[in-house]
């Protein structure tokens, strides 16, 4: 009996292959977008982790030589004996054949934490690790390159950056010919409380505190957070299709349900059958979705890889492997999505009375009442969103604001459109125009889900586009501030630095010292920079978020300090507050500057004041102003005449070029995701229009019989789609801007402590509008061709008794 009933239910899909395709395709696309974004993010994060995991060098405090060379073995022994829990590292570049790797020698017994997935102190491994011929722990990609060039044993660990190799410190010492010279010392997190001070024990080494992730890393993190939000949106758009299709398929099978039940299939068996059907479908669609998502991600990943390469010098291995957890989450998401979007339909089946006949019109009328309820619900959500935005705190509140805003806007859309169309209908005096608006309004319940999906897709596009563009502009603007000087030099020691100070003024327009000290300010350890505030570079290139009129004069005179946005927001400072600085002096805050991507607070004081209060400040870094055309020549002379290593001279033009390239890549990724999301929405539109075109005939046939040609009717149908599209687009612009605002001003501030200024790009909307228009036209073409070429007999059949 079960099987017989199942065949009756399933035969529906055989009659409606397009509906079936819509359901599977919609669910697959939703899952694909979700898992694709997840894959991109996961892969990107894994690469950051790889880059950052070079012996956790960013997570732990380290001791580094002050003069930049090396630490004698004796110093290490002294510190150990004094009770410091430290581990030595020897590090340097080495060529195996023609393969150059960064060799990092560690002491497996004392090193804190593990290297990658490999724990050097596992018993068997340890013996091999420390004895001849030695072990190199590398990434997969490095292993492939190295294999024929060394007789050392090669082990692969997952989170080692490409081009790096971990080995025993003894091996590294021999290979790099260091003879007891250590590169740095890693300080374990657990230290005895009463350690003797470092500057007494070993004045020649300095402490390098942890947590200084590369500046751009946080900017990129923020970008990925937003990308995740975007992935979620795309998924929601896909679910709209699934919801609509399931609703329709259930509606059309009402008669079958009733027949089955009157033939003695119990309600619970029917529900069970339908559940099984949906779960099987969801499972299959989920599988397809994960595969499409993988494909999408691997298409986009070269961009991501390039992004990372630009940012961290860490490369992502060219191939992407589907991880088991993607399959799992992809399927879970697909199944959960299906259950969520079919719950209402299933519930309706359970409450369906056995005897009343199917009444599609009554159903449509109920939907019209639903539109009014939706309007109300949407309004409540929008108000909630506004209240949360004003009074809420925390990252999850930020996302709640986002969710309420989008869902509220989507829910309100059909109601707003309906009211608008009613107005137009009342305004028009021509019979055909009146009918056009009235008929459009009647289509709303059937199209509302597709329109909501379109709204979400458009809003997500505008929102994310605005966000990324604002990001880019802000970031590049910020680089312009930070990289105002044409060249940046780092001297290797004080001696070289003083030679530089003597040599440079004759060869450049001006020299800007970039000196900083670490110190406790307002209870946090942060960096205090000195700025040559008299120089026009600062006045011209450092736009301030807030500041008094004579900011730079006061900074130059040592009578004022600038703080970055993070410190300002974090400590709730305001202009004029007295800032107590280490060393027992204080200055008032005179200005706030933006400092994107920096996780920590920062203070800027006049360079003279810095040098006066902290005479020991390292004076190694300088910015050099020079006519941009002369910069390459000067760079050349710095290395050839002055003898500074090439990597200690950085010209800002190439830095900026690199950063721009990074953002162009991220643009490519979001651009592609935008197109996919729009594609999903276009598909929702297409399937709704196709479904509607089936029930349209009785609505159109009387108008045709009264003397409107089929061509004109088709034209009107096209106009109708375009009108709805245009209205949705008009609504999507403010919703998208709201979305961008929430992302930039709430989510970002809660997650990272700085606010990105929002920039608006109307030409982007125009492009988006045209793309969406193309999607709308494509979605209407097939249903329209059907209508324009429909035989009169099909229209006439409407009036005949066979209906």
Partner 1 sequence: MLLSLRNVSKSYTTAEGRLEILKSIDFDLDAGESVALTGESGSGKSTLLHLAGGLDHPDTGQILSVGRDIAALEDQGRAEYRRTAVGLVFQQFNLIPSLDIGANISFHARLAGRHDPGWERELVQRLGIEPLLARYPDQLSGGQQQRVAIGRTLAARPPLVLADEPTGNLDEVTGDAVLDIMLSLTRSAGAALLMVTHSSRLAQRLDRRVHLHGGKIA
Ligand X SMILES: Nc1ncnc2c1ncn2[C@@H]1O[C@H](COP(=O)(O)OP(=O)(O)OP(=O)(O)O)[C@@H](O)[C@H]1O
Site for partner 1, rule CB under 8 A: 361-362, 365, 430-432, 434-435, 438-439, 441-442, 698-699, 701-703, 705-712, 792-793, 795-796, 798-801, 803
Choice between 319 and 793, CB closer to ligand X: 793
Task: Tell me phi and psi for residue 512, to 5 degrees.
Answer: -110, 110
Count residues binding ligand X (CB under 6 A): 2
Which of ligand X, partner 1, none has residue 368 at its interface (CB below 5 to 8 Å by kind)?
none
Beta-strand relationship, 515-521 and 86-96: unpaired
Longest dimension (CA), the chain: 105
The vertex-238 CA angle with 235 and 242, nearest 5°, equals 130
Task: Output the DSSP codes for 326-362.
Answer: HHHHHHHHHHHHHHHHHHHHHHHHHH--SSSPP-HHH
Tokens (6 digits) for 411: 């829910």
Shortest Å distance, C-beta 431 to partner 1: 3
Token duo for residue 679 = 């594609």
For residue 803, state whether it binds ligand X (rule: CB under 6 A): no
**Is the Cβ of residue 616 or residue 801 nearer to partner 1 in the bound state?**
801
The site partner of 441 among ligand X, partner 1, none (C-beta below 5 to 8 Å per kind) is partner 1
Backbone angles phi, psi at 419, to 5 degrees: -65, -40
CB 413 within 8 A of CB 731: yes
Tell me how crowded residue 169 is: count the other CB atoms within 10 A of its CB.
Answer: 24
* Distance from C-alpha of 572 to C-alpha of 757, rounded to nearest angstrom: 19
Which of partner 1, ligand X, none is residue 798 near (CB under 5 to 8 Å by kind)? partner 1
The least distance separating partner 1 from the CB of residue 696, rounded to whole angstroms, comes to: 11
On the 0-12 / 13-18 / 19+ scale of CB atoms within 10 A, 82 is middle
Whose Cβ is closer to ligand X: residue 258's or residue 797's? 797
Q: Are strands 602-606 and 561-564 parallel, antiparallel or unpaired?
A: antiparallel
What DSSP letter does each residue of 200-258 carry, written as one string? HH-TTEEEE-S----HHHHHHHHHHHHHHHHHHHHHHHHHHHHHHHHHHHHHHTHHHHH
By CB under 6 A, residue 123 contacts ligand X: no
Nearer to ligand X, 132 or 793 (CB): 793
β-strand partners of 134:
none
Rounded to a whole number of angstroms, the minimum distance from the CB of residue 803 to partner 1 is: 7
Which residue is at the shortest CB distance from ligand X? 793
Q: Is the Cβ of residue 355 or residue 800 nearer to ligand X in the bound state?
A: 800
Is 434 or 548 the residue whose CB approaches partner 1 more closely?
434
Q: What's the closest the beta carbon of residue 706 comes to ligand X, in angstroms?
A: 20
Nearer to ligand X, 200 or 803 (CB): 803
| 793 is a site residue for ligand X (CB under 6 A) | yes
Residue 432 binding partner per list ligand X, partner 1, none, with a CB distance cut-off of 5 to 8 Å that depends on partner kind: partner 1
**How far apart are alpha carbons 230 and 250 in whole angstroms?**
30
Bond before 133 cis per omega within 30 degrees: yes
Question: If you search the block for the tokens 């289509």, which residue do you land on?
Answer: 443
H/E segment holding residue 290: helix 267-312
The residue among 621 and 797 lying less far from ligand X, judged by its C-beta, is 797
CB neighbour list of residue 116: distance below 8 Å, 6 or more residues apart: 53, 137, 157, 158, 159, 160, 166
Min dist CB 281 to ligand X, Å, is 36
Q: What's the CA gap between 489 and 508, in Å, rounded?
A: 13
Q: How far is the CB of 801 from ligand X (least distance, A)?
A: 6
Fill in the per-residue mask, 737 to 776: x = in contact with ligand X (CB under 6 A), - = not in contact: ----------------------------------------
Work out what residue 228 binds among ligand X, partner 1, none; the CB cut-off runs from 5 to 8 Å by kind. none
CB-nearer residue toward partner 1: 184 or 696: 696
Hey, is 31 helix, strand or coil? helix
Question: From the list ligand X, partner 1, none, which binds 442 (C-beta under 5 to 8 Å, kind-based)?
Answer: partner 1
Nearer to partner 1, 439 or 565 (CB): 439
Least distance (Å) between residue 790 CB and ligand X: 12
Residue 711 binding target from partner 1, ligand X, none, CB below 5 to 8 Å by type: partner 1
Q: How many angstroms separate the CA atoms of 550 and 535, rounded?
A: 14
**At closest approach, how far in Å is the CB of 798 from partner 1?**
5
Contact of residue 77 among ligand X, partner 1, none (CB under 5-8 Å per partner type): none
Cβ 120 vs Cβ 129: under 8 Å: yes
Give the one entry of ligand X, partner 1, none that residue 707 binds, where binding means its C-beta sits below a cut-off of 5 to 8 angstroms depending on kind: partner 1
708 binding partner (options ligand X, partner 1, none; Cβ < 5 to 8 Å by kind): partner 1
Report the residue number, 225 or 790, with the smaller CB distance to ligand X: 790
Q: Could you say which of partner 1, ligand X, none residue 58 binds, taking C-beta under 5 to 8 angstroms by partner kind?
A: none
Which one of ligand X, partner 1, none is in contact with 756 (Cβ closer than 5 to 8 A by kind)?
none
Report the residue number, 543 or 698, with the smaller CB distance to partner 1.
Answer: 698
Q: Please give the Cα distance from 576 to 561 (Å, whole number).
A: 10
Question: Where along the sequence are the contacts to ligand X (CB under 6 A)?
Answer: 793, 801
């Amino acid at each position: 009996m079960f099987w017989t009933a199942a065949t009756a239910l399933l035969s529906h899909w055989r009659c409606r292959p397009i509906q079936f395709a819509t359901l599977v395709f919609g669910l697959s696309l939703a899952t694909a977008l979700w898992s694709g974004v997840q894959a991109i993010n996961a892969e990107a994060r894994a690469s950051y982790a790889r880059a950052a995991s070079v012996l956790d060098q960013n997570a732990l405090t380290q001791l580094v030589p002050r003069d930049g060379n090396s630490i004698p073995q004796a110093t290490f022994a002294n510190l150990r004996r004094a009770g410091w829990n430290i581990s030595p590292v020897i590090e340097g570049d080495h060529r195996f054949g023609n393969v150059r790797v960064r060799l990092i020698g560690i002491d497996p017994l004392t090193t804190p934490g593990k290297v990658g997935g490999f724990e050097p102190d596992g018993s068997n491994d340890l013996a091999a690790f420390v004895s001849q011929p030695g072990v190199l722990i590398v990434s997969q990609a490095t292993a492939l390159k190295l294999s024929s060039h060394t007789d050392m044993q090669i082990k692969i660990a997952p989170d080692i950056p490409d081009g790096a190799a971990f080995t025993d410190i003894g091996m590294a010492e021999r290979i790099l010919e260091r003879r007891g010279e250590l590169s740095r010392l890693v300080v374990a997190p657990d230290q005895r409380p009463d350690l003797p001070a470092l500057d007494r024990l070993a004045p020649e080494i300095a402490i390098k505190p942890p947590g200084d992730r590369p500046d751009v890393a946080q900017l990129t993190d923020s970008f990925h957070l937003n990308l995740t939000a975007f992935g979620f949106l795309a998924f929601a758009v896909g679910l709209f299709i699934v919801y609509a299709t399931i609703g329709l398929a259930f509606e059309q099978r009402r008669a079958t349900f009733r027949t089955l039940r009157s033939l003695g299939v119990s309600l619970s068996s029917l529900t069970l059958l339908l559940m099984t059907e949906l779960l099987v479908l969801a499972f299959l669609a989920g599988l397809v979705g994960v595969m499409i998502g993988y494909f999408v991600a691997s298409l986009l990943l070269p961009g991501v890889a390039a992004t990372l390469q630009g940012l961290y010098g860490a490369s992502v291995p060219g191939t992407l492997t589907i991880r088991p957890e993607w399959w799992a989450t992809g399927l879970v998401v697909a199944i959960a999505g299906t259950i969520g979007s079919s719950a209402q339909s299933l519930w309706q089946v359970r409450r369906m009375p056995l005897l009343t006949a199917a009444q599609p019109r009554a159903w449509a009328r109920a939907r019209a009442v639903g539109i009014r309820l939706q309007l109300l619900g949407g309004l409540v959500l929008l108000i909630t969103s506004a209240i949360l935005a004003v009074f809420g705190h925390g990252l999850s509140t930020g996302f709640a604001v986002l969710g309420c805003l989008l869902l509220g806007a989507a829910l309100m859309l059909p109601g707003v459109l309906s009211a608008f169309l009613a107005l137009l209908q009342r305004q028009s005096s021509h019979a055909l125009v009146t009918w056009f608006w009235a008929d459009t309004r009647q289509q709303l319940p059937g199209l509302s889900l597709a329109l909501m999906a379109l709204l979400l897709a458009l809003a997500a596009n505008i929102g994310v586009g605005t966000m990324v563009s604002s990001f880019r502009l802000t970031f590049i603007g910020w680089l312009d501030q930070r990289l105002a000087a044409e060249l940046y030099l780092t001297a290797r020691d004080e001696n070289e630095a003083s030679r530089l100070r003597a040599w440079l003024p004759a060869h450049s327009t001006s020299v800007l010292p970039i000196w900083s000290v670490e110190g406790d300010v307002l209870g946090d350890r942060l960096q205090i920079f000195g700025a040559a505030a008299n120089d026009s570079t600062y006045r011209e290139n450092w736009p301030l978020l807030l500041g008094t009129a004579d900011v730079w004069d006061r900074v130059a005179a040592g009578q004022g300090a600038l703080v970055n946005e993070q410190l300002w927001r974090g400590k709730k400072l305001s202009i004029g507050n007295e800032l107590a600085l280490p060393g027992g002096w204080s200055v008032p805050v005179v200005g706030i500057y933006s400092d994107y991507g920096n996780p920590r607070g920062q203070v800027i004081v006049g360079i003279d004041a810095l040098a006066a209060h902290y005479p020991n400040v390292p004076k190694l870094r300088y910015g050099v102003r020079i006519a941009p055309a002369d910069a390459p020549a000067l760079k050349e002379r710095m290395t050839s005449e002055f003898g500074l290593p090439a990597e200690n001279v950085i010209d800002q033009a190439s830095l900026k070029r690199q950063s721009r390239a990074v953002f162009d890549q991220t643009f490519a990724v979001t651009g592609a995701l935008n197109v996919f999301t729009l594609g999903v929405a276009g598909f929702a539109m297409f399937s709704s229009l196709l479904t509607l075109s089936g029930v349209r005939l009785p609505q159109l046939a009387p108008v045709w019989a009264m003397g409107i040609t089929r061509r004109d009717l088709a034209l009107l149908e096209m106009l109708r789609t375009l009108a709805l599209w245009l209205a949705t687009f008009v609504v999507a612009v403010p919703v998208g801007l709201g979305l961008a605002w929430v992302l930039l001003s709430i989510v970002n501030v809660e997650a990272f402590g700085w606010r990105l200024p929002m920039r608006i790009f109307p030409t982007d909307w125009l492009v988006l509008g045209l793309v969406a228009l193309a999607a709308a036209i494509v979605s209407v073409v097939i249903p329209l061709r059907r209508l324009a070429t429909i035989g009169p007999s099909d229209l006439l059949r409407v009036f005949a008794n066979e209906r």
